[in-house]
Structure 1
């Protein structure tokens, strides 16, 4: 990644459905998903998206590069996931930037207290990104690592950064 990267999130619209169908049916891009469907259809995605969740298209320079979601919302907690759909943007660090924006939405805009994620243990890049953003491993089960980040960890991170700047 060169320079400052600005990933923006926007709500999904009907115009995104065909792109999402393409992304979710890409076996390489979805190989680490916990519960992949054999074939994603426009109808399936229309029904699933925005039902008790916050779903977004991630953009880079106004170009769609991925999908991300906050779901399983209960008692000010939520689960998050991302998918880098655009093949040209995989492996370039954009996933971590998407996660950063998604956490910002979860904690600052939706006022959640905890975020969880379930990551395939083979997805080293994703695990690294979650760790960089303050997520801690809770447990491993069936080849997936359950991670958690509390809203207070943002304050903790700021305190650490502040203490280093005083040295």
Structure 2
């Protein structure tokens, strides 16, 4: 059974055909707050990123996978980033793009799949995520998936002239 396939979704490597989807996501100001993006990306840069997306996670310290429903429809992206092999930890970022695909359990299944992958295949000890204090859907998602809030970073993110606190969540794998 494919490690990155669940009952509702599966995760796959990026393909050249994902260019339009990724360009739309990266250039949507709706998502800039959660991705720390402040400027649009050119089609050329995204194409170059896709051409290099096959590189080893331990070399580039990140991995982005497409989230697809079982009918092969792409619905979002999951990122493993800031990989620290020595400390055996990495950050996660998840995005389900449209409201019609949110609240259906896709995010929880993705976090379970990617956590299992990181702990089993990448031999990581812990995963973490940063969530702004007002992102209630993400707070609910990470807590549902056993991520623990371990701290608040005060005035961490500046959005539209106002600072927001950010919660640091961790999931520690105690099985070695």
The number of residue pairs the alignment matches comes to: 149
Indicate the residue corresponding to 1:13 in structure 2: 15
- Preserved CA contact (<8 Å) 1:34 1:120: no
Q: 2:13, 2:38 → 1: CA distance?
A: 23
- Preserved CA contact (<8 Å) 2:126 2:172: yes
Q: TM-score, normalised by structure 1?
A: 0.78
Matched, 1:107 2:119: yes
Indicate the residue corresponding to 1:144 in structure 2: 166
- Preserved CA contact (<8 Å) 2:32 2:38: no
Provide closer, same or farther for how the CA distance between residues 124 and 87 of structure 1 changes in structure 2, counting only shifts above 3 A. closer
Residue deviations 1:62-114 (CA, integer Å, cap 9, x gap): 11100011111112110010111244313333222221221121111211111
Residue deviations 1:96-148 (CA, integer Å, cap 9, x gap): 22212211211112111110111111111111111111111121112211111
Provide closer, same or farther for how the CA distance between residues 34 and 22 of structure 1 changes in structure 2, counting only shifts above 3 A. closer
Q: Where does the alignment leave 5 or more consecutive residues of structure 1 unmatched?
A: 156-167
Q: 1:12, 1:87 → 2: CA distance?
A: 22
